Chain A
Amino acid sequence: MSKKPFGVLMAEDVSHDIIATQRAWKKSHILNPLYIVKDGEECLDFLHQREKYCDPETAPRPAILLLDIKMPKMDGLAVLKHIREDDELHRLPVIMLTSSKAEEDRLKSYDLGVNAYIVKPVGFGNLSAAIRTINLFWELVELPGGHHEFK
């Protein structure tokens, strides 16, 4: 049975990191669609399918969110807090993918209910490996309420 691969949303403001991630996606032959948003507010718009993301065809509900902490307008921790308090989104698996090694960022993320916390690795080979591992893990794990619904 071939499952329709679930979508992954990535919230990341640094274009270098976006390019690196997209390259890793391609190099690792990951079939899941990757959606990119550039800041926290945009991320919430995408998740709620509003403003410029009101079309469910181009902005379907993702099954996983990769979230950076340091972002303009609204940082990753605020986005995470909003998701966990939202009736519709609170079960969405969220992975912090950040360059911050600070202990308080890590603890705060886990306090807010993050599913995993990964420090952006140095070197592209390491990034690829991390992305592959994330995908493999969520491919094996049964996501809450199927791939497209996480209510």
Chain B
Amino acid sequence: MLRSVIHKFYLIGGLLVLSFLVGYAQLAFFLRHETQSAARGQKAVFLEREIRSLKENFIEMRLWEKALFSQEHPEADKKFHKLMELITKNLAFLSTHPTGPDIQRLLADISKLVTQYEKDFNRIIQLRTEQRLGQTLLDSDYQSLISSVLRSNQISLLRPLFNLSHFQKNYLSNHRESEYHALNVVMGSLENRLYREALMDERLKGYINTYRKILDHDFVLEKEIQALSHHFDNISIALSGHFVSISNLAGDILRTEFNGTERLRNKLNRSFIISMALSAFCVLLIFAVMARQIVHPVRAIAKVAEDVRFGHIGARFIAKGRQKDEIVRLGLDLNRMLDTLDKNNEQLVTYQNELENKVSELASREVELQNHRQHLEELVEERTVDLKKINMELQQEIDERETAEEALRLAHRDLARKASDLEDANKELSQFAYAISHDIMTPLRAIHNYADFLREDLEATLEGNHKMYLDGLVNAVGQGQELVDDLLELSRISDSSGQNATIEVGRFLHELIDLLDLPSDVAVVLGDHWPSIDAKRSLLRQIFQNLIINAIKFNRSSDKRVEIDWHPVGQEHYEFCVRDNGIGIEPRYHEQIFRVFQRLHTREEYEGTGIGLAIVKKAISKLNGAIGIQSEFGKGSSFCVTLPKTQKEI
């Protein structure tokens, strides 16, 4: 079962965990008991203290009660009631707390008694107050009687009056029954005397009657007070007894709890010592098992390895016991490995001998090779002489070719220079045309202005022919100006300034058509989707402006229509076509129309300078494009412009 080392470790670990668990469980159990016991002890202490305070309060209250009856202390009443309140509160508080049944019963008794006590006490106080009031009345009645009697100046009456005063004082201080009767007798004798002396009148009789009534009432009160006092004293004594017994009970409970806690603590100490001893024993047992099952075999294997290292090749691991766990198996594997190593070692020694033989053989071969090499070097020398001859011939040929190439290069350079000269000349020509046009423009404008001045100033006096001449002059000058304008445009196309930009053709055409401000009888139809191309904006404007204007100019239809559309040509070009329903062009003129100043009509038929299409063609060639025309006379024309999508930088 416990074959594997892992299993052994599991067992050991399990035992350790178990011993810890038992220890912790014990600890938890004791802690719980300890806590509960402490709580109980605390409760007992609390109860005992409450009861003691109740008892003390009661004793103090009784003191104040005495003081109250004797009226020795002015604040006795207040103190008494305060303590009474405290006691009631204490009792209420204790009754809400769980205590023993004995205490509960006693508390109930005490509560009842205290209620009775309070009731009696209040009654006594009430009666006493009433009595005191009666005494005041009695005293005042007595004073009135005496003063009335004394006014008669009867010396013989002094004696009974004195007696009355004496007995009244005695009665009021002690309230004894005998004194009450004596006072009554004295009062009777005073009454008789008064009758005898014929002093008695209605008023005196009233005083005496009132006196008697008050005295009787006082005596009745006194009797009731005495009865109540007796009852009250009994209650007090019973309460005192109860308090003593409840206090004793609380003390007993406290002692019991304390003893219980002490016992528990002792038990806990003992248990801890026992469990610690058990745990220590477990751990020691575990170590012993580990040492026997794991450490000893590992040490045996290490010993074998060390022996082998120091040269005892024959050393082997010897397994003790019957068990075959991993460590024992490791030892046996080590044995097998050592066996294999021994075998390999023997084989290696054999190989080494063979190698030594082969090395000596190789040495003899090298000597042979040395001889061969010497022979080869002679052969190479012979061949080198032949190769040098061939090389010389080749060099000669190369020289010849280089001369020819040089000549070619010179010719090429010449050609390039000529091309550049041509370009310069072309540019110069362009500039020349520009300058000329500009300079011609100035006198033309002046002539135009002067003709205008003349017409303005002479408007009223001009006759038929003169007016016609003047109009002719203005018209001719206008044509001249138009011609020069177109020439300026044409020459400006050669100007290489300005940048290529990516132009959205659709948007560009819409803007151009808006700018041209075409007559209202012309409909220009554009498709919806348009591509973008790389081009110089001014050149693109020249191309489409002239084509659109031509399409409208050479058109006699009532609803002139220009359609512009496009489609891709190959991978790198677009073709844009401008179609009209105009007069059309005969195919034989299709070449000529692109030449400068080439016209097919007189000025009277169609206006224009004959430069428009030349400008278009030049602009297209500047953009590396091409133009084609499809038209027949009377069937409208279609000019198609092919332009590359992108302009390659040269």
**Interface positions of A (Cβ within 8 A of B):** 14, 16-17, 19-20, 23, 70, 99-104, 120, 122-125, 127
Contact = CB atoms under 8 A, between A and B. Distances in A.
B449 A127 contact: yes
Given A20-B453, A70-B438, A124-B452, 15 more contacts: A16-B442, A16-B449, A16-B450, A20-B446, A99-B438, A99-B445, A102-B492, A103-B498, A104-B497, A120-B445, A122-B445, A123-B452, A124-B448, A124-B453, A125-B452
B68 interface: no
Interface in B465-495: 478, 481, 485, 488, 492
Nearest to B450: A16
A120 B443 CA distance: 13
Contacts of B497: 104
Contacts of B485: 101
A19 B450 CA distance: 9
Interface string B58-94: 0000000000000000000000000000000000000
B538 interface: yes
B441 interface: yes
17 contacts: A14-B446, A16-B442, A16-B443, A16-B445, A16-B449, A16-B450, A17-B446, A20-B449, A70-B438, A100-B438, A101-B485, A102-B492, A103-B538, A120-B445, A122-B445, A123-B449, A124-B452
A16 to B, nearest CB: 3
Nearest to A120: B445
Contacts of A101: 485, 488
Contacts of B443: 16
A121 to B, nearest CB: 9
Interface string B417-451: 00000000000000000000010011101101110
Interface residues of B, number: 20
Nearest to B443: A16
Contacts of A17: 442, 445-446
Interface of B: 438, 441-443, 445-446, 448-450, 452-453, 456, 478, 481, 485, 488, 492, 497-498, 538
A104 B497 CA distance: 9
Given A104-B497, A122-B478, A122-B481, A99 B441 contact: yes
A31 to B, nearest CB: 21
Contacts of B456: 124
A99 B488 CA distance: 12
Nearest to A14: B442
Contacts of B538: 103
B108 to A, nearest CB: 112
B443 to A, nearest CB: 7
A72 to B, nearest CB: 13
Q: Give the 9 A-B residue pairs with the shortest CB-CB distance, closest first.
A: A16-B446, A124-B452, A20-B449, A124-B449, A14-B442, A99-B441, A122-B481, A123-B448, A123-B452
Nearest to B457: A23
Interface centre among A14, A20, A125, A127 (most CB of B within 10 A): A20
Contacts of A124: 448-449, 452-453, 456
Contacts of A102: 492
Contacts of B441: 99
Contacts of A122: 445, 448, 478, 481
Contacts of B452: 123-125
B477 to A, nearest CB: 9
Contacts of B449: 16, 19-20, 123-124, 127
A104 B434 CA distance: 13
A106 to B, nearest CB: 12
B321 to A, nearest CB: 108
A146 B445 CA distance: 36
Contacts of A19: 449
A122 B480 CA distance: 12
A146 B453 CA distance: 36
Contacts of A70: 438
Contacts of A23: 453
Contacts of A14: 442, 446
A127 to B, nearest CB: 7
A124 B403 CA distance: 71
Contacts of A104: 497
A123 B485 CA distance: 15
A101 B538 CA distance: 13
Contacts of B448: 122-124
Nearest to B498: A103
A100 B441 CA distance: 10
Nearest to B477: A122
Contacts of A103: 498, 538
Contacts of B488: 101
B36 to A, nearest CB: 102
